Structure 1
């Protein structure tokens, strides 16, 4: 995962030559920045950098202005000005090799040397007896730190050493496929005797050079230095060792001391002397300078034998083997203690101090996330307004507080535009440069799928729209195609649609129920301004019950109570006992909540509108079932009341309503129940869309189909007397008297049997039926019913009761209409 700033880089790679840096960059897994466009240098830093990633490590590649310890020391010192988090520096490139460092070891061109110590062999004094080196860097600057020593010791073990070389060969193959210059030179690997110098041995009368006229046998002219052995005519009889270039062997890795100085080693005799005296295996010019500033490892490919016969033929190949070894080394290197991986926090809401309960559900999610090989996708599902977002939010903050290395990203799925904008923001945070909106989702997926991204949690909140995730046409733009996969990452969905939750997260689905009484009371205690309102415990329980223990409904009620300074909870409860239209108006009133999205409906009466529309789109029969159930008592609705298509269609339709938590059924029961507040919201939705009256008639027709007569066996019909009254009133007002008569007649028969002829509801039904008879011109039948109603009301209510007087007036009107 790309660091936000320079402190996120812990590994530096320092190269003295362009060919060395080119080889290293060729093995980058990702390039973040070039020459400080994204990561600007601080004042006092004159270096040039390329930033990128090798494996799981964020790496800064540093160019040196020239070779030598002094230049290396200056570069390392400046490096730490801008990159204060560097824990390890690798000096990577090419070097001279000691061909016979020991009696049982040989080093060849293309092999790799890794330092476990650096010997600064030109650091000392010149005495009459000769040059005396003071000591090695191991004593002056200290040994490599413990983490480096431990790893190097492990790499010397036989099996690990073989594994290391195999991995290095794989990386070498990759770089060689990228560019031809990294291939094996296919030149013979020739080692001359140490005392045999690369110089003119045959005097040309036309040429005067120091090879002959110099005062020492070590003198070599410039022309000789520029000429290769073949052209110069170096004596083949003085070759000590030769390896055929057509038989390229796998490069070997050698771990040991490396000699470092400000001068290039070009003497075989001097090389062997230092090799024997100091126990070194290679020669280079930068390691000692870097070592003085930061923990350092030298990793270099052998391009010559540090003698006068050295040339550039093997440099590119040696640079490639050195870079391949460095990348392999980093695969074994683990971040040192105290190194903090760059992490990201992108969450839409502040922590909610009013959050209560849900411990069981949160513990379930945390348990799944903590399992080493556990599920990578999880889903939280439940009724809209039940608090899924708040559970996810609480989980996000707990993970942030518990694991500082885990990045958390929050994507609101309220619309496709909001998803795309969130992906674009994440891409920028991850340091993906010049990202196009159309490519952001793919690039974020690829970035988070890499091991270098570290630990992360990706939360898709309000993932309710199936078409957005799994469209029917299997479009490649479906969001499911852009989910990252990583052993260190987890994805959490919150959704109202349990079916979609199963499709996205498999069996790892956690349901969020409404509050229980204890949690509901705690929530009221945290959110009400006037705490003394809770002194009336019965009123508080009644309020929670009337609001169906739904967190959103309780939040809305508390906002109304706080804003209007209501003195008693019973006052708000009384509002919930008004006529349906007034209750809907109360529950439709908007309120402020900083933990909900600004662009979606907050009030209870409107929060499910989007769900209604999604159900309409997904399953027309399910939408019809919802409309039927909204027209009757929401409790214990017989399945037989709903239209009965094929079994699969019925199961699919009810299954979708259950997936949205709109309906539920008890095991073994043939009835379903609609959530009370959903019932109210559905009726409101139907009225706003001018569909309510239409469905009242459809429901009445369905009742006639299911309960065709007044047979006592049809006891279920008694539950729908209130509905029949409303339907009958609608039919009567529309002048559909024959249909109204049938309903009023059925109602009267049911009421006579159930509550008797003296009950006010029965008398109302008799009066309604008499009035219907009158409008049909059936005056005699109307007269008989009105006479019965009047006599009963006289006896029960008295002659002067308003209802009795109304009956007398109705009877008089009937007499008048009969003449």
Structure 2
């Protein structure tokens, strides 16, 4: 279940490079939000976030604007403004490894280091005799908290560390299945002597003079941009080498990490710090985060912190670092989230449809509008009767229930004025409005939702009857006048009348088109008892086309085929009978747990309801529809339509048919084909 607010996130992951963040996000078990579409930041927070779940933890992944301690400190400080519940930050990515640390085995490229302390080795004073780091109690970064220290000590045990390495290896394999760039780069892993520089050793081709210098400060940019093979670095100067075939395992090391604003590119300087500070790696962000929030640095080794750096190892090291970070979180106790669902109310008349497929584009669009900061408060879903508006809304309601633990959901069937009044009475009882009279209930509920601080959604399903919404009835206002207004709530209508939907929700209308053949076949497969009936693709596609890919028609056809144990071809032949037989077939009742008991299910009845509503509103529109039913319904020239009193009345009548999805294309009054 998605957290209800930024306050519910206890784990933050910070990455300085997009490559590092990409590796972390690829290991998310679920993504909740991207770049603040749902979880809004506090004013003044310039960070960019991705929210998701790793194992049992809700995590916020934070992109840094750049490398360095200063950037990291600013990001960590802003993070706590928008996410005050964060109690552990993981700085995950790539770093330079310190080879041959005093108390550990050899560190290789792709191995992962975990910090138990951070040494800010560039913080001090420059004296004539050299640089002296500040080591006073007030000048150094403090040790991690008790919970972090206890866990790290536990992971130092051989069995625990081996278990973590095994689990991280599984996550690495999974990550590598998603993209080849996370795999081992396929080159040998070589460590050169600290004094051996990565530079030009000949001026034959470049004319560069860095080959004459023995100082790492004088290496030219061209040499730094080439790998060791291009510069023909002397293999005789290597200290250790691991060939490709040996690199089958990622080792994990725990110890101090050196952090500074400058990139370590000198093997000799590196060895001096390693000898003095006993560090196992070098990074550029840890110190900035460490001083702002409880922090652990977990980074894959992509180079040996010397001049022989190569970007070829970065993606692989980012993958190993992210994999160990995910494994590490399995040992960290998840924060207990407040159970806000106890305060909410849910009134949904149907169970979730286990056969629901497709329509992801429409559902996602509505979800985006609902979760959009300062987005529309009223929305509508429109489409032909039987196209699946109620089922889309039902699936959406259950998704909101899963993801919004503090949001109340109320479903109001608009099949009649009496059904709406009864739903309002039920809502009044649920929210605690006592002794409300039926004549006053709609106004009381409207007032409640307009004033409450709780989050809510009201769903008005089958809002089709114009008179109910715009005119009302004697002694009762039109329904549009009793709709609540609040920044904490949303109103969602479903209607087969697009014109009415526009009056209720303005321009915030999502139209539901016909389903595509693939989705139609998936619906059919879920509903049919004999799945092998769909083996003949030609017959299946022909039947679906004859059913106009209408979900209600497909459901009714599947129910009839199941009940009478006939083939698809036999059902299709029944559809080819005389008109009276077809109407009889399409009027067959069938069980459907996702529709109202007082509404008949058959397709013929559904379309007849739409026709009668059109007939009550516009006689000319119903005459047009009756006329079109008697001829080929495609490519009808406008000129053969029954005459009207004016061109304006013709446009309005055709517009109403289009609003009910009985006319789908625009009019071409001067062409041979009308619509």
TM-score bracket relative to the smaller structure = 0.5 to 0.7
**Residues 439 and 100 of structure 1, relative CA distance in 2, 3 Å threshold:** farther
8 Å contact 2:95–2:283 — kept in the other structure? yes
**Residues 414 and 167 of structure 1, relative CA distance in 2, 3 Å threshold:** closer
8 Å contact 2:37–2:371 — kept in the other structure? no
1:232 aligns with 2:231: yes
Deviations 1:664-693 (A, max 9, x none): xxxxxxxxxxxxxxxxxxxxxxxxxxxxxx
Counterpart-to-counterpart distance in 1, 2:107 and 2:396:
44
**Residues 104 and 326 of structure 1, relative CA distance in 2, 3 Å threshold:** closer
Counterpart-to-counterpart distance in 2, 1:137 and 1:96:
27
Counterpart-to-counterpart distance in 1, 2:400 and 2:276:
50
How far has the Cα of 1:415 moved from its partner? 8.3
Match of 1:183 in 2: 183
Deviations 1:79-102 (A, max 9, x none): 111111111111000000011112
8 Å contact 1:53–1:59 — kept in the other structure? yes
How does 1:16-55 map onto structure 2 within 5 Å? 16-55=16-55
Match of 1:252 in 2: 251
8 Å contact 1:96–1:302 — kept in the other structure? yes
Q: CA RMSD in A?
A: 3.6
Of the two structures, which has the highest relative contact order with CA contacts closer than 8 Å and spacing of 6 or more? 2
Counterpart-to-counterpart distance in 2, 1:278 and 1:241:
23
Match of 2:129 in 1: 129
**Residues 87 and 447 of structure 1, relative CA distance in 2, 3 Å threshold:** farther
**Residues 84 and 416 of structure 1, relative CA distance in 2, 3 Å threshold:** closer
1:288 aligns with 2:251: no
Match of 1:779 in 2: none
Counterpart-to-counterpart distance in 2, 1:183 and 1:137:
43
Higher helix share: 1
How far has the Cα of 1:297 moved from its partner? 0.6
Counterpart-to-counterpart distance in 1, 2:325 and 2:21:
12
How far has the Cα of 1:344 moved from its partner? 2.1
Q: Tell me, which stretches of 5 or more residues in structure 2 are unaligned? A: 357-362, 373-378, 382-388, 409-433, 435-675
Counterpart-to-counterpart distance in 2, 1:235 and 1:286:
33
Match of 2:341 in 1: 344
Deviations 1:306-349 (A, max 9, x none): 0100110110000000011111111111136xx6446423554x
TM-score by length of 2: 0.53
User: SS at 1:307's partner residue?
Assistant: coil
Match of 1:169 in 2: 169
Counterpart-to-counterpart distance in 2, 1:298 and 1:437:
49
Match of 1:192 in 2: 192
**Residues 187 and 216 of structure 1, relative CA distance in 2, 3 Å threshold:** closer
**Residues 147 and 198 of structure 1, relative CA distance in 2, 3 Å threshold:** same
User: SS at 1:246's partner residue?
Assistant: helix
User: SS at 2:61's partner residue?
Assistant: strand
Counterpart-to-counterpart distance in 1, 2:351 and 2:199:
78
**Residues 286 and 136 of structure 1, relative CA distance in 2, 3 Å threshold:** farther
Deviations 1:519-558 (A, max 9, x none): xxxxxxxx9xxxxxxxxxxxxxxxxxxxxxxxxxxxxxxx
Counterpart-to-counterpart distance in 2, 1:414 and 1:21:
41
8 Å contact 1:137–1:288 — kept in the other structure? no
TM-score by length of 1: 0.44
Counterpart-to-counterpart distance in 2, 1:86 and 1:178:
30
Match of 1:277 in 2: 276
8 Å contact 1:199–1:221 — kept in the other structure? yes
Counterpart-to-counterpart distance in 1, 2:332 and 2:404:
15
Deviations 1:203-250 (A, max 9, x none): 3276032332x5846521111101110010100100111111133221
1:319 aligns with 2:318: yes
How does 1:513-662 map onto structure 2 within 5 Å? none
Q: Name the count of aligned residue pairs.
A: 387
User: SS at 1:277's partner residue?
Assistant: helix
Counterpart-to-counterpart distance in 2, 1:161 and 1:123:
33
User: SS at 1:297's partner residue?
Assistant: strand
8 Å contact 2:14–2:91 — kept in the other structure? yes
How does 1:475-514 map onto structure 2 within 5 Å? none
**Residues 178 and 205 of structure 1, relative CA distance in 2, 3 Å threshold:** closer
Counterpart-to-counterpart distance in 2, 1:111 and 1:75:
27
How far has the Cα of 1:128 moved from its partner? 1.8
Counterpart-to-counterpart distance in 2, 1:341 and 1:193:
55
Deviations 1:24-47 (A, max 9, x none): 110111111111111121111111
Q: Larger Rg: 1 or 2? A: 1
Q: Tell me, which stretches of 5 or more residues in structure 1 are unaligned? A: 349-409, 459-526, 528-819
**Residues 249 and 341 of structure 1, relative CA distance in 2, 3 Å threshold:** farther
Deviations 1:445-502 (A, max 9, x none): 89999xxx9999x9xxxxxxxxxxxxxxxxxxxxxxxxxxxxxxxxxxxxxxxxxxxx
How far has the Cα of 1:414 moved from its partner? 7.6
Counterpart-to-counterpart distance in 2, 1:59 and 1:297:
15
8 Å contact 1:76–1:290 — kept in the other structure? yes
Bigger drift between 324-333 and 103-112 goes to: 103-112
Counterpart-to-counterpart distance in 2, 1:90 and 1:315:
19
**Residues 442 and 105 of structure 1, relative CA distance in 2, 3 Å threshold:** farther
8 Å contact 1:301–1:320 — kept in the other structure? yes
8 Å contact 2:191–2:240 — kept in the other structure? yes
Match of 2:298 in 1: 299
Match of 1:671 in 2: none
**Residues 343 and 320 of structure 1, relative CA distance in 2, 3 Å threshold:** farther
